[in-house]
Chains A and B, each alone.
Chain A
């Protein structure tokens, strides 16, 4: 089965509000990354975490290896935040990345 379960698959927010995306892991991961897909199709790295939390502007991410999850919080959402967000996790002892299937975020006026 899937090792990375990302939710929700789709999310709609009004400008100025916030919410959280989540990835649950079925096995121990040593690190997680969060990406956002740009208009050209490339995935821009938002965060890389081996533990704890990181914050950048209106985005904040947390990773708990023991509890097997990671979150991406968006606050004060803006129209330009719309897009598809992915998490990807590194299994312990492996160089590979296991991707979540993405969250399609739509920010509405």
Chain B
């Protein structure tokens, strides 16, 4: 069964803080994604990657960096966190193309920036 694990589950930081969200998938999938969910917006794509060392910009990349260190691991970095980045963050993986595939999601990380 496809598995995507996010950590931490909850995170509280202050404005200007440095935060790293981690995602690991054991599906041997090529594609990994970071989304944020906010009321009224659905899930918006922040960054995605189609393999180790690759990074693609999503729809709402400002204020975020990401790094795909291995096929399994995809990190989302907030180097100067702001209150507008308070959100639910979801990681997902897929083994197909971006335009047409099934996604397997982690359970989410709740980030609060005070």
Check if A42 sits within 8 Å of B103, measured CB to CB. no
Q: Which residues of B contact A40 (CB under 8 A)?
A: 45, 58-59
Decide yes or no: A99 and B105 within 8 Å by CB, A42-B45, A43-B42 being known contacts. yes
A contact residues, range: 20 to 34
- Which residue of the partner chain, among A1, A2, A96, A102, contacts B103 with CB atoms under 8 Å? A102
Check if B102 sits within 8 Å of A104, measured CB to CB. yes
Binds A, one of B16-24, B33-41, B72-80: B33-41
A104 to B99, CA, bound (A): 11
**A97 interface residue per 8 A CB criterion:** yes
B83 to chain A, nearest CB (A): 18
Q: Which of B33, B88, B92, B102 is the most central at the interface, judged by chain A CB atoms within 10 Å of its CB?
A: B102
Q: Which residues of B contact A35 (CB under 8 A)?
A: 42-43
A59 to B35, CA, bound (A): 25
